[in-house]
């Protein structure tokens, strides 16, 4: 009689199989929903493709056209102008709010909820709300300014004030950044504050020499996420300007121009080239921030040489 051998998995192998089973749906989604479209867009970026006809290989023609397109450079200028003001303001105001809400004040949980609540509201709803507030004739902001004798600008309808208006709108969601900062502040060891107090440090010195260094990893995280999100700015500007790019293209953000090429002009090859240029640009900025982190980001237990 032939002997039978029962195949048995070790406990480690069983754990590995179960782990693959549970992460399997995520891996499938990653390949089908993220990686596959990215590879397809890379291929289309070297083609002339309008969805209705098969793609035609044109090599680097889309990229050459891109760098000769004045609207491409306009979209970069608008996006950078927004990023230069919106990103530092969001990081700074979020941090200051977190510091304030880390103090022992009456109704602390209520204040934290009120500051965080706006960040969970849909981007479209926020855009509609702010477009009404910034209405030059019927908006409450200009009405409030008129009460103190100031004639408000046209805001979103002005080439000068359109981008500042969007910067102000971006502060609506600062609560999400604040919550992450708050978790970092609460993770600072109290022993460090006690040691600083024993050494005679005042509150300002304690803030700059204890609080800031110990929360620098959280600042670094918010900087990376904010940098990526800033260059993906689309929903609010599309809703407030109707996808037109505002007066004299003053709010023609990069993603908005990409969207116009893809779904208004059906130039998918050109839009794919724009997407990859944006990806490489954001990747380069992210790598530079990571490289700089060795200088200003401090981790607990780490000794700087």
CA 256 from centroid of its chain's CA atoms: 15
Q: What confidence score (pLDDT) does residue 245 get?
A: 85
Task: Give the burial class of 51: count Cβ atoms within 10 A of its Cβ; 0-12 exposed, 13-18 middle, 19 or more buried.
Answer: exposed
Q: What confidence score (pLDDT) does residue 122 get?
A: 74
In this structure, which topology does domain 53-105+177-296 adopt according to CATH? MetI-like fold (1.10.3720)
At residue 236's C-alpha, the angle toward residues 235 and 237, to 5°, is 95
Contacts from 56-62 at CB under 8 Å and sequence distance 24+? 58/269, 62/269, 62/270, 62/272, 62/273
Give the domain ranges of the chain.
53-105+177-296
Task: Quote the pTM value.
Answer: 0.87
Question: Along the 305 residues of the chain, how does pLDDT read in single tens digits?
Answer: 455 556 677 888 888 888 989 999 999 999 999 999 999 999 999 999 998 899 999 999 999 999 999 999 999 999 999 999 999 999 999 999 999 999 888 888 899 988 898 888 877 888 899 999 999 988 999 999 999 999 989 999 899 999 999 999 999 989 999 999 999 999 898 899 999 999 898 989 999 999 999 999 999 999 999 999 999 999 899 988 878 888 889 999 999 999 999 999 999 999 999 999 999 999 999 999 999 998 999 886 655 55
Please list, residue by residue across 67-93, b when 16 or more beta carbons sit within 10 angstroms of its beta carbon and e when fewer do.
Answer: eeeeebebbbebbebbbebbbeebbee
Q: What confidence score (pLDDT) does residue 15 get?
A: 85
Q: What confidence score (pLDDT) does residue 1 get?
A: 47
Task: Give the burial class of 106: count Cβ atoms within 10 A of its Cβ; 0-12 exposed, 13-18 middle, 19 or more buried.
Answer: exposed
Q: What confidence score (pLDDT) does residue 10 get?
A: 84
């Amino acid at each position: 009689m032939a002997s039978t051998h029962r195949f048995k998995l070790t406990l480690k192998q069983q754990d590995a199989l179960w782990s693959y089973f549970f992460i399997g749906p995520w891996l499938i989604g990653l390949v089908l929903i993220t990686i596959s479209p990215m590879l397809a867009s890379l291929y289309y970026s070297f083609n002339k493709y309008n969805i209705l006809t098969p793609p035609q290989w044109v090599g680097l023609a889309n990229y050459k056209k891109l760098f000769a397109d004045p609207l491409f450079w306009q979209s970069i200028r608008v996006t950078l102008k927004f990023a230069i003001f919106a990103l530092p303001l969001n990081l700074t105001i979020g941090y200051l709010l977190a510091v304030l809400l880390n103090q022992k004040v009456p109704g602390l949980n209520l204040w934290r909820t009120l500051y965080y609540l706006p960040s969970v509201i849909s981007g479209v709803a926020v855009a509609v709300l702010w477009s009404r507030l910034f209405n030059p004739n019927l908006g409450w902001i200009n009405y409030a300014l008129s009460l103190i004798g100031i004639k408000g600008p046209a805001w979103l309808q002005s080439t000068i004030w359109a981008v500042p208006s969007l910067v102000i709108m971006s502060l609506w969601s600062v609560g999400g950044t604040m919550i992450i900062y708050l978790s970092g502040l609460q993770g600072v060891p109290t022993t460090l504050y006690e040691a600083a107090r024993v050494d005679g440090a005042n509150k300002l010195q304690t803030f700059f020499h204890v609080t800031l260094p110990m929360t620098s990893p959280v600042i670094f995280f918010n900087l990376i996420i904010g940098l990526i999100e800033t260059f993906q700015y689309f929903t609010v500007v599309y809703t407030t300007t109707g996808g037109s790019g505002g007066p004299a293209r003053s709010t023609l953000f990069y993603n908005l121009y990409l969207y116009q090429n893809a779904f208004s002009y059906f130039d998918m090859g050109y839009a794919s080239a724009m997407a990859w240029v944006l990806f490489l640009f954001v990747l380069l900025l992210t790598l530079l921030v990571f490289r700089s982190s060795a200088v200003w980001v401090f981790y607990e237990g780490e000794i700087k040489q």
